[in-house]
């Protein structure tokens, strides 16, 4: 069952001669990303530890803006970097190790978009609820006592 493989990654910027070479190339790339993550995780540069943008104040449009910009407004840049690098790693594992790059386009979309859509929805709901419960526990008139 000789299959044809697509032998280029980074939208054709890095081409390989054989499938085996591509596998090693992807390994190097994934190891590099993991190394960056570990180094950032150990040193935690100060500049990445505080959000760059404060939540917008004001009415309706400020709320909309905060929602759209929530990864920047509510998340430390370091954590945003970690999550983006994780998604990049997941992409190359799925596309090259699991051969999604070689599958029919519609098959690939069926797998990826189902998961991505449902996961985003679930994460949004649960994180939103978690933040709400936090605000109820720690609000000014909270009836929760931590030590008794």
Partner 1 sequence: MDSTVVSTGTEEKTWGGGNNPLKASYGKMMMWFFIVSDALTFSGFLAAYGFSRFKFINEWPIADEVFTHVPFLHGQELPMIYVAVMTFILIMSSVTMVLAVDAGHHMNKSKVTIYMFLTIIGGAIFLGSQAWEWGTFIKGDYGAVQTKGGNILQFGEYITVDGKETFKRVSIDDIAIAQKSDRIDHERKNGIWFTDEGTLPPYTVDEIYAGLAANENVLVRNQFLDENGHKTILSRAESLKQIKEHGKLVVKGANLQVNEYGTSLFADFFFFITGFHGFHVLSGVILNIIIFFNVVVGTYERRGSYEMVEKVGLYWHFVDLVWVFVFTFFYLV
8-16, 36-44, 52-60, 61-69 -> range binding partner 1 (CB under 8 A): 36-44
| Of 19, 56, 73, 77, the one binding partner 1 by CB under 8 A | 19
- CB of residue 59 to partner 1, shortest distance in Å: 25
Name the 3-class secondary structure at 97: helix
By CB under 8 A, what part of segment 84-113 binds partner 1? Answer: 86, 89-90, 93-94, 96-99, 103-104, 106-107, 110-111
Asked whether the beta carbons of 57 and 38 are under 8 A apart, the reply is no
Number of alpha carbons in the 13 Å side-chain half-sphere of residue 19: 12
DSSP assignment letter at 31? H
**Binding of partner 1 at residue 47 (CB under 8 A)?**
no
Residue number with CB closer to partner 1 (68 or 98) = 98
- Those residues whose C-beta lies under 8 Å from the C-beta of residue 66, and which sit 6 or more positions away, are 55, 56, 73, 74
């Amino acid at each position: 069952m000789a299959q044809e493989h697509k032998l280029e990654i980074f939208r054709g910027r890095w081409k390989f001669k054989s499938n085996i070479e591509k596998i090693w190339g992807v390994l190097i790339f994934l190891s590099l990303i993991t190394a960056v993550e570990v180094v950032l995780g150990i040193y935690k540069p100060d500049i990445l530890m505080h959000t760059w943008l404060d939540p917008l104040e004001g009415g309706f449009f400020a709320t909309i803006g905060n929602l759209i910009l929530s990864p920047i407004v509510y998340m430390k840049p370091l954590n945003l970097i970690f999550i983006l690098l994780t998604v990049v790693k997941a992409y190359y594992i799925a596309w090259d190790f699991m051969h999604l790059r070689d599958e029919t386009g519609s098959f690939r979309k069926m797998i990826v978009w189902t998961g991505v859509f449902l996961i985003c929805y679930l994460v949004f709901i649960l994180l939103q609820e978690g933040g709400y419960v936090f605000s109820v526990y720690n609000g000014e008139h909270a009836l929760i006592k931590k030590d008794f």
